[in-house]
């Protein structure tokens, strides 16, 4: 094994646990939680934390056709491949109310992105690099 | 005939956070997805918002319209609950529902006292079922509270109790009646 063991979390993710249909919450050891899924046949791993309000992405919905992972709290959708924010599904619902409040400034919305965790595949196990 | 009941409980979160979670309308369809499939804004009139809450069944979108009113700083009322579409055979044709939810600070524990009052206007033939209707409403309300509190508790573990409010006050965050909320709690 050439992998630097200190650079990686101690608990790997067995590839067979990723079924390509739903996100999986994994404890990588030391209390660090990640969400893993099989997207387009490849494992992707993010910190289990929505950058919007901190929701558990592992309890969200993976949409393979659209390639998105959504947060279970507010439904914010992220590109499953890159972690980049893709869509706020509430925007259309409440569009008629946007502009009503001086304290709401949507133009200041930060560029939200899931925290991607680098990983290596070895013998059917996904080893996640410490951030 | 009127059947009234009250649910009182202490929520383990600061008052501004309990109010913010209630006004945080963007989570209704997701965190509380077991309670509704879709939401549409029908009318906005100051601190009153009428919404259509629907469920998909047999290829149809069925539900009800209801008006929610915010009485700052920490009171919420719901009334005028009518079936949508009107022809839909619904309990709301015969049962009139009005609720009043009040939050009050419990300073010694930095918690919130919730008082949830419900008034059901029932026809005489439904009077024997008032207990069942009460339990259904209590159960729905408890489920919603539990989901909100689970969200608040997770955020508390991540960022600390004192920082819970900050996300709701950010410029880009949208919630019902934000100006009023910020005026009282910002």
pTM of the model: 0.93
Rounded to the nearest angstrom, the minimum Cα separation between A38 and chain B is: 23
Contact of B34 with B14, CB cutoff 8 Å: no
Alpha-carbon gap, residue B101 to B85, rounded angstroms: 27
Q: How confident is the model at residue A129 (pLDDT cuts 50, 70, 90)?
A: very high
Check CB contact under 8 Å for B40 and A93: yes
Q: Mutation target for A interface from B173, B175, B177, B183: give the one with most A CBs within 10 A.
A: B173
Q: What is the DSSP letter of A130?
A: P
> What pLDDT score was predicted for residue A2?
64
- The tens digit of pLDDT for each residue in B2-27 reads 999 999 999 999 999 999 999 999 99
A119-122 and A61-63 beta bridge pairing: unpaired
- On the 0-12 / 13-18 / 19+ scale of CB atoms within 10 A, B166 is exposed
Residue B137: alpha-carbon gap to chain centroid: 12
Please give the interface size between A and B, counted as residue pairs whose CB atoms are below 8 Å apart.
74
Whether A110 and chain B come into contact, CB under 8 Å, resolves to: yes
pLDDT above 90 (res B153): yes
pLDDT above 70 (res B150): yes
Rounded to the nearest angstrom, the minimum Cα separation between A54 and chain B is: 6
Q: How confident is the model at residue B109 (pLDDT cuts 50, 70, 90)?
A: very high
């Amino acid at each position: 094994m050439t992998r630097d063991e200190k650079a990686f979390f101690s608990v790997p993710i067995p590839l067979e646990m990723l079924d390509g249909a739903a996100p999986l919450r994994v404890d990588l050891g030391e209390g660090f939680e990640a969400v893993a899924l099989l997207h387009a046949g490849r494992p992707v791993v993010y910190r289990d934390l929505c950058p919007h309000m901190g929701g558990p992405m592992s309890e969200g919905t993976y949409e393979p056709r659209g390639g998105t992972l959504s947060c279970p709290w507010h439904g914010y959708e992220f590109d499953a491949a890159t972690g980049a924010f893709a869509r706020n599904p509430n925007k259309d619902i409440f569009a008629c109310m946007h502009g009503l409040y001086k304290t709401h400034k949507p133009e200041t919305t930060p560029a939200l992105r899931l925290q991607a965790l680098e990983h290596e595949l070895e013998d059917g196990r996904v080893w996640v690099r410490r951030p | 005939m009127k059947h009234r009941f009250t649910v009182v409980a202490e929520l383990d979160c600061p008052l501004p956070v309990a109010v913010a979670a209630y006004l945080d309308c963007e989570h209704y369809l997701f965190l509380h997805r077991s309670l509704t499939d879709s939401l549409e804004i029908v009318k906005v009139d100051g601190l009153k918002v009428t919404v259509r809450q629907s469920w998909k069944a047999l290829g149809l979108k069925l539900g009800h319209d209801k008006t929610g009113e915010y009485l700052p700083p920490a009171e919420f009322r719901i009334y005028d609950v009518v079936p949508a579409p009107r022809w839909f055979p619904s309990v709301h044709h015969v049962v009139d529902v009005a609720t009043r939810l009040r939050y009050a600070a419990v300073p010694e524990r930095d918690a919130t006292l919730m008082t949830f009052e419900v008034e059901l206007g029932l026809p005489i033939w439904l009077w024997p079922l008032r207990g069942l209707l009460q339990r259904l409403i209590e159960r729905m309300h408890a489920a919603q509270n539990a989901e909100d509190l689970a969200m608040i508790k997770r955020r508390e573990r991540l960022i600390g109790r004192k920082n819970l409010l900050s996300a709701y006050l950010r410029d880009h965050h949208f919630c019902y009646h934000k100006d009023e909320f910020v005026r009282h709690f910002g």
